[in-house]
Amino acid sequence: MAILEILEFPDSRLRTVAKPVKTVDDRIRNLIDDMFETMYDAPGIGLAASQVNVHEQIVVIDVSEDHSEPLVFINPEITVIDSETFEYDEGCLSVPGFYETVTRPQHVKVKALDRNGTAFEMEPKGLLAVCIQHEKDHLLGKLFVDYISPLKRNRIRGKMEKLHKQKSS
């Protein structure tokens, strides 16, 4: 297993729309293992393949405190079950150190394939529902900063660009 590099905002590669996975094979399973290792190391609760510059529809999530509930979503499709929304302070491994309130549906239905290519459905609520929607956005080339005001987004962009310049100096 390996820890992968996480792309950071405003990297344009984060805007690439991911393609569906055609075959779940050892290459995909190895990528999933690397994504979990990367996510846990970061540390985070969700990671989309797009964030590690692999533009395929793969998401890994574990919202447990002790890393005991790893979930894999390949080619996830989300349907809103209850239009009641929920405000949550979201952060992102691609926008480290920043948190903003985002409003999302709190109850969704997800259809996806697991790490073995087996189809499944679930109806998460709360944090897991938010996390799945956040990661699915990555697969569509969208970031949580797209939900906030242009002023806040530009301020975060400026701070991130400044950090990147300091790191490369």
Q: Confirm whether residue 138 is marked as ligand binding.
A: yes
Is residue 87, in this structure, part of any structural domain at all?
yes
Contact 33, 49 (CB under 8 A): no
Give pTM, 2 decimals.
0.95
d(CA 155, CA 67) in angstroms, rounded, equals 33
CATH of the domain at 153: 3.90.45.10
Helical H segments across 42-125, by residue range: none
Structural domain contains residue 2: no
Is 6 inside a domain boundary? no
CA distance 148 to 123: 27
**Residue 1 pLDDT greater than 80, yes or no:** no
What whole-number percentage of the chain has pLDDT above 70?
100
State yes or no: 67 annotated in a binding site.
no
Would 1 be classed as within a structural domain?
A: no
CA–CA distance, 56 with 108 (Å, rounded to integer) = 22
- Over the stretch 69-100, which tens digit does the pLDDT of each residue have? 999 999 999 999 988 898 999 999 999 999 99
The catalytic site residues sit at 135
Q: Is 164 marked as binding a ligand?
A: no
- Domain that residue 139 falls in: 12-168
Q: What is the pLDDT of residues 28-58, one digit of tens each?
A: 999 999 999 999 999 999 999 999 999 999 9
Record the tokens describing residue 79, joined without a space. 């349907």
Does residue 69 lie within any of the structural domains? yes
Q: Structural domain tally of the chain?
A: 1
Flag whether pLDDT at 133 surpasses 90. yes
Residue 5 is assigned to a structural domain of this protein? no
